[in-house]
Amino acid sequence: MSERFENINLLRAFAAMAVLVYHVIELRPWPAFPIDGPLVVFRIGWIGVDLFYVISGFVITLSALALRRRDPERFARRYWARRLARIYPLYLVTCVLWVAFFKPDFFDASVKAWAWQIVSHLAFLHTLTPWTFGSINGANWTLAIEMHFYVAVALLVPWIARTPGWRIWLGCIAIAWAWRGAMVAILGTASPSQLFQAVAQLPGVIDEFGAGIFLACLVDRGGAPSARAGLAWTAAAVAVGTVCMGVYWSHASYWDVPAMVIGWRTLNAAFLLCVVAAAVHLPELVRMLPVRPIRYLGVVSYGVYLWHLFAIRWVQGSPALEPAQALAAVIGVAVALAALSWHTFERPILERGRRYDGGAPRSPVARPDRLQRTLR
């Protein structure tokens, strides 16, 4: 079976745009943006990051299981060739350009200070200290969490391959609740930003990645996706999403409610699991002509995510623009830069990473691979 799950690109497009619009609302600022109706979802556009985590849990795990099944001896080399080819090139370029454009005094600090900034970002350790968390292109903190998850999958894929998905997800929930509960107890009355940085580490969001792992195990060990299952997942998404958002808006202050900090993200993960599962099982909407531009936006969504704060900083230099005009300008600049970087170097490097065979003799294949190519 060869499945690309193209509908996931529609979700990636939404996730990237949700984060972009949210940051325009917050950083412009745009206080008159609707506070009710369908558009209110963009006031909590940070949920796009949570959606990216669930998608990564699904796609990365499914890809890792397929690669290991195909050739266990070369799994690590092929896995890391793909992961690094996907995440590193644009990440490095945007880090360098952020320093060049927005941090002209970067090297005025002590050698120890700027050297640690460089080393921590190269090693994806910048989320571990307050002075490097989001210090170079604020969106980069999530890439560190993604990389930590990639390491976890690389180490645990043999265990994942033989363990029921529901058991893995329950374990992830237990770890996440324990971590978030400990952070709430330790930090107590700390500021929301301090608490956020603490609970945003991988153990604190592992229940969201775990939801994706659960879905990957279902798909890997089950039959072909079906429209009937897609409709069932869609109905579940509506039901769970209604409860999830109802709980959130009833406690939207969030950070001063320990039960929300500890438990709500798991409910959100369950909602996003249903959304991603519906996208996996439903017929491919991307084949419809009106949807193809959105599909393309999903293809370049990584670039949109990494470039959008550049666009916001540049548009901030034009205060005469109305908020809606500023949003249109940010979208235009971010998408243009994302398309440019995708076609000039992201895609060629990614394709080379996918073609890398591990540089070792091919091992016998135990059974046919169920996934010929993944989305990422």
Give domain status of residue 229, yes or no. Answer: yes
Residue 228 confidence (pLDDT) above 80: yes
pLDDT at 132: 97
Give domain status of residue 31, yes or no. Answer: yes
CB 316 within 8 A of CB 261: no
Alpha-carbon span 347 to 351, nearest angstrom: 6
- Which tokens go with 37? 């109706």
Count of domains for the chain: 1
pLDDT tens digits along 12-63: 999 999 999 999 999 999 999 999 999 999 999 999 999 999 999 999 999 9
Is residue 309 packed enough to be buried (19+ CB in 10 Å), middle (13-18) or exposed (0-12)? buried
Domain range holding 281? 7-355
Mean pLDDT to the nearest integer, 268-294: 90
Angle made by CA atoms 76, 77, 81, in degrees to the nearest 5? 115
Mean pLDDT to the nearest integer, 332-356: 97
- Of 262, 263, 279, 268, which is closest to residue 245 (Cα–Cα)? 268
**How far is CA 100 from its chain centroid?**
26
Give domain status of residue 15, yes or no. Answer: yes
In the three-class reduction of DSSP (H, G, I as helix; E, B as strand; rest coil), residue 362 is classed as coil
pLDDT at 375: 43
- Which tokens go with 141? 């903190």
Is residue 318 packed enough to be buried (19+ CB in 10 Å), middle (13-18) or exposed (0-12)? exposed
Give domain status of residue 376, yes or no. Answer: no
Residue with tokens 């950070």: 255
Number of alpha carbons in the 13 Å side-chain half-sphere of residue 234: 11
pLDDT tens digits along 132-183: 999 999 999 999 999 999 999 999 999 999 999 999 999 999 999 999 999 9
- Averaged pLDDT score across all residues of the chain: 93
pLDDT at 27: 95
Give domain status of residue 375, yes or no. Answer: no
pLDDT at 373: 43
- Which tokens go with 50? 């949570």
Is residue 326 packed enough to be buried (19+ CB in 10 Å), middle (13-18) or exposed (0-12)? buried
pLDDT at 286: 67
Give domain status of residue 360, yes or no. Answer: no
pLDDT at 344: 98
Give domain status of residue 365, yes or no. Answer: no
CB 369 within 8 A of CB 69: yes
- Which tokens go with 117? 């900034």
Residue 366 confidence (pLDDT) above 90: no
Q: What secondary structure letter does DSSP report for 320?
A: T
Alpha-carbon span 252 to 4, nearest angstrom: 37
Alpha-carbon span 362 to 369, nearest angstrom: 14
Give domain status of residue 48, yes or no. Answer: yes
pLDDT at 371: 45
- Which tokens go with 217? 């195990």
pLDDT at 222: 85
pLDDT at 364: 45
- Which tokens go with 147? 């990389």
Alpha-carbon span 30 to 37, nearest angstrom: 16
Alpha-carbon span 362 to 242, nearest angstrom: 49
pLDDT at 372: 43
pLDDT at 183: 97
Amino acid at 267: L
Alpha-carbon span 266 to 199, nearest angstrom: 13
